[in-house]
Structure 1
Amino acid sequence: MQNARPLPTYLIQRYQGWRATTFTENRVWYRRLAEDGQHPRAMVISCCDSRVHVTSIFGADTGEFFIHRNIANLVPPYAPDGDYHGTSAAVEYAVTALKVAHLIVMGHSQCGGVRGCHDMCSGNAPALEERTSFVGRWMDILRPGYDRVAGLPEGERIRALEQQAVLISLENLMSFPFVKSAVESHEMSIHGLWNDIADGSLMQFDPASGGFVSV
């Protein structure tokens, strides 16, 4: 592969610093992880956004979370059609092979993917409407959520749609037979979270109230 290049120097220096400190101080733990395999307690589906740092938010150790990131933390509906399905594959592996106890979907504020969905659905992002747009076709998953919030005042709509991205994903998760079975047999629980990047607050979906409440 002629186009690949060596890592930037600053990344190599950061790696060397990690290897000399964190890795060296926890060498036995890393060896155990390698020999025993992974046994994460939870899977977290979060956004690709570089500002969303799930392990820092929860103070998670190496090996504790099985993490999958994609644009706008979306889960598509169950569709065993033989095509490529990265998110669905990650969910299948977490539930059927790793047997995680918790499956968490975490959305966040100022989500660019959700903003793109809003603009596309309101007719203001023609490029995303193109069949060739990977982002646009991925954000089609959230179109039902846009329909639910379209009548809200403009100032409330984006945040509501960010939270709909979490709810749509939870609903789609339950369309996976192995997820539905694990939830109904109480072998696994699913959770919906929304994080405000600016103030660090975290909200969770409360089925009793039908809305998001502070953690």
Structure 2
Amino acid sequence: MDTDGTSPSPAASPIDRLIAGYRRFRHTGWHPRLERWESLRQSQKPEVMVIACSDSRVDPAQIFDVDPGEIFVVRNVAALVPPFETTPGHHGVSAALEFAVQVLKVREIIVLGHGMCGGCKAALSQELQGCKPGEGGFVADWISLLDPVREAVVAEHGTEGRPAEKAMEHAGVKVSLTNLRSFPCVAHKEAAGTLKLRGAFFAISDGVLHLLDEESGQFQPAD
């Protein structure tokens, strides 16, 4: 039984379960915290942008246990940032980045990779190469952002197995950090000391957050 008296049946549809969750939120999350919602009604002032994977198992708000309004989140396949470019197109990640840096004026950007990332695994195996758009082609094109680092990962670890996959996941974080610095607004603010870039990795197998030491190139447990 839910706290507000609702209890979806075991055979409830996905939308029924979501609505039941919404009712719990209204009961335990909305009404008891009206002051917080009121403060966010007109504007948001997050200090941190998190670029994370769309994977359903790694919700940044849950991992970092933050309140609404604390982090500005962009999620996509493999937590990738494309390099700065001015060609016509729909640049979703670039638009969100521009908004976070120039309008919200976030102080930190965290690229959050994670264990068992399907996008990184596909980039490693190249199993989607040659697929048509709508049949895997969109994903293949997106994860081709990892092609520049794939050769080094394959040379050391091969294309299969957890060590190879983890190496690609770590490399993906570094690729996104490099591409972030190709944006003039990011490079300028980082050089001025008003913006900090960080790489992070959440291991869903053990629940441990790792932070990247860019000098050594190694990920160390945040604990």
What TM-score do the two structures reach when normalised by structure 2?
A: 0.87
**Equivalents in 2 of 1:62, 1:105: separation in Å?**
19
How far did residue 193 of structure 1 move? 0.5
Query: How far apart, CA to CA, are the structure 2 residues paired with 1:135 and 1:75?
Result: 14
Query: After the TM superposition, which parts of structure 1 deviate over 4 Å for at least 4 consecutive aligned residues?
Result: none
Q: Deviations over 1:90-139 (max 9, x none)?
A: 1110000000000000001100000111111xxxx2x4333631000001
State the TM-score, normalized to the length of structure 1: 0.91
**1:105–1:191: 8 Å Cα contact kept in structure 2?**
yes
Deviation digits for residues 126-184 of structure 1 (CA, Å, limit 9, x no counterpart):
x4333631000001101012122111134422111000100000000000000001100
Whether 2:166 is the aligned partner of 1:165: answer no
- Percent identity for Structure 1 against Structure 2: 36
* Whole-Å separation in 1 of the counterparts to 2:99 and 2:91: 12
The answer to whether the 8 Å contact 1:193/1:203 transfers is yes
Tell me, in whole angstroms, the C-alpha distance in 1 between the residues paired with 2:15 and 2:154: 44
Question: How do residues 56-67 of structure 1 correspond to structure 2 at under 5 angstroms?
Answer: 56-67=62-73
Q: Pick one of 8, 17, 20 that aligns with 2:27.
A: 20
Write the deviation string for residues 186-206 of structure 1: whole angstroms up to 9, x where unpaired: 111000001110101111111
The DSSP-based 3-state class of the residue aligned with 2:155 is coil
Secondary structure in 2 matching 1:166:
helix
- Residues in 1 aligned to 2:33 and 2:75: alpha-carbon distance in whole angstroms: 26
Secondary structure, counterpart of 2:41 in structure 1: helix
Q: Which amino acid aligns with 1:188?
A: L
Unaligned runs of 5+ in 2: 1-13
Match of 1:44 in 2: 50
Match of 1:187 in 2: 194
CA RMSD of aligned residues (A): 1.5
Quick one: which of 96, 99, 114 aligns to 1:93? Answer: 99
Could you tell me how far 1:70 is from its partner in structure 2?
0.1
Q: How does 1:57-206 map to 2 (within 5 A)?
A: 57-120=63-126, 125=127, 127-130=128-131, 132=133, 133-154=137-158, 155=161, 156-206=163-213
Q: Distance in 1 between matches of 2:47 and 2:58?
A: 20
Residues in 2 aligned to 1:153 and 1:128: alpha-carbon distance in whole angstroms:
20
> SS state of the match for residue 158, structure 1?
helix
Q: Separation in 1 of the partners of 2:47 and 2:156?
A: 38
Gap regions ≥5 residues in structure 1: 1-6
Aligned to 1:8: 15
CA distances 1:11-51 after superposition (whole Å, capped 9, x unpaired) = 1121112112210000121011012x000010000000000
